[in-house]
Amino acid sequence: MRLLESFAARSPLSQALPASARPPLAQGPERGAGATPAPDAAADAPLCVRGLTVAYGGKPAVFGVDATLPAGSMTAIVGPNGAGKSTFLKGALGVIPRVAGEATVFGKPFARARHRVAYVPQRASVDWDFPALAEDVVMMGLYPRMGLFRLPGRRHRETARACLARVGMEAFAERQIGQLSGGQQQRVFLARALAQDADLYLLDEPFAGVDAATETVLVSVLQSLRDAGRTVACVHHDLSTVAAYFDRVLLLNGARIAEGPVAETFTEANLQAAYGGRLATAGLAAPGAIPATPAGSPPAPPPGAAAR
């Protein structure tokens, strides 16, 4: 049990939301399509961010970002490398300090609504050598309901197994998390988020470095959450799948470029504003069409390449 408590204490969600003063509302260099709803309409949104600025070493990584995640939506957070996508999520949750701005979850500070949020960090940020079974990792998602110092009972283990089954990992329940492949680890972490039974799911690059079968499972589960009225947002890199996976998009490049429904916002003009010369737009035939891969991105693996 101490092992689980220690692992849970290292989760980003174990950190309290820092206090921050409310700054004047700020906008990115271009408002773009799909404007953020008016403050009164967004007040009780699953996530409402206003004037978010986060800096590293005195240099802003994101600045003046406004964004709103409506209920029952699935949003892709996209932009070039270094655009501040992961920083935006962490700053909104208070995982890292803000220079300015505020964020509310269902109209409340995160510290008062954290039980309604499930956060899945980047896989690369997790210590996979930590000795824990897949089932134990999933049960960490139950702590907000069962209490950190209560021993899990049969009902809790049944819930954990059901969440593992939902992502196709029930057979690996008693496997050490560090012995699993990258795709399997990502499935387990999504199962942990499912165990939280949250209303808002925030995932940082959930599809990075996973095999095609795992990506299909993850997308299916996340879309089922959205269809059930939950709210989902993912930091995402593959522009070719945005229109197929998501119904909304938030384009960032330090500031907010555009935000709104994919059909209205995922356009050549907004992509050029976000990526500039780094975007190859051959094949972008109409607003909302799927663009080509950004220039400089690694080529697709050859047929038959080993899954990761």
pLDDT digits (tens, 9 = 90+) for 237-263: 999 999 999 999 999 999 999 999 999
Query: Are residues 115 and 89 in contact, defined by beta-carbon separation less than 8 angstroms?
Result: no
Q: State the pLDDT at residue 236.
A: 97
Residue bearing the bigger pLDDT, 40 or 62: 62
Residue bearing the bigger pLDDT, 280 or 135: 135
> Worst-scoring range by mean pLDDT, 2-16, 62-76, 161-175, 198-212?
2-16
Specify the pTM.
0.78
Task: Give domain limits for the chain.
Answer: 2-274
Band (102; pLDDT cuts 50, 70, 90): very high
Block residue for tokens 């709210």: 231
Check whether domain 2-274 has CATH 3.40.50.300, yes or no: yes
The residues, any chain, with a CB within 8 Å of residue 3's CB and separated by 6 or more, are 131, 132, 136
Closest CA to 214 of 76, 77, 307, 135: 307
Q: Is the pLDDT of residue 151 over 80?
A: no
Q: State the pLDDT at residue 150.
A: 67
